[in-house]
């Protein structure tokens, strides 16, 4: 489809028309990362948000299931694996830098 001035004006007017019919959504801001989320997507109603002093998103909340792997204590085997990984990266970087 070729975009002409008339088509662009029609599309713009349709977009603006729909903007008036879309109901406003409730957003909540994370105090940790400053990102904004739809309340519905993170399971918080607008009425509940009035009672929340400080909201932390699932990524920032240390009690979240998303952060559980990050909170685990590292064992010697984990540290050894990390050392080998860093060494491999260094070797590959050196190979490509030459």
Can you give the CATH number for the domain in which 77 is found? 3.30.40.10
Cα(58)–Cα(38) distance, rounded to whole angstroms? 13
Other CB atoms within 10 Å distance of the CB of residue 57: 19
Q: State yes or no: pLDDT of 31 exceeds 70.
A: yes
Report which of residues 59 and 9 the model is more confident about: 59
> Does residue 4 lie within any of the structural domains?
no
- Could you give the number of structural domains in the chain? 1
The residue-averaged pLDDT of 15-39 equals 75
Share of the chain above pLDDT 70, in %: 66
pLDDT reading at 17 higher than 80: no
Share of the chain above pLDDT 90, in %: 18
- Residue 68 covered by a domain: yes
Residue 92 within any structural domain of the chain: yes
For 61-86, the pLDDT digits (tens) are: 888 777 666 667 888 998 999 999 99
In terms of residue numbers, what domain contains 59? 11-97
């Amino acid at each position: 489809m070729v975009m002409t001035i008339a088509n662009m004006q029609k599309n713009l007017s349709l977009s603006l028309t729909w903007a008036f019919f879309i109901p406003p959504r409730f957003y909540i801001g994370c105090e940790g990362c400053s990102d904004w989320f739809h309340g519905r997507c993170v399971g918080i109603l607008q009425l509940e948000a009035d009672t929340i002093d400080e909201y932390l998103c699932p990524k920032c909340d240390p009690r979240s299931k998303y952060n559980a792997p990050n909170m685990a204590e590292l064992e010697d085997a984990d540290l050894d694996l990390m050392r080998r990984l860093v060494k491999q990266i260094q070797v590959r970087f050196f190979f490509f830098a030459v």
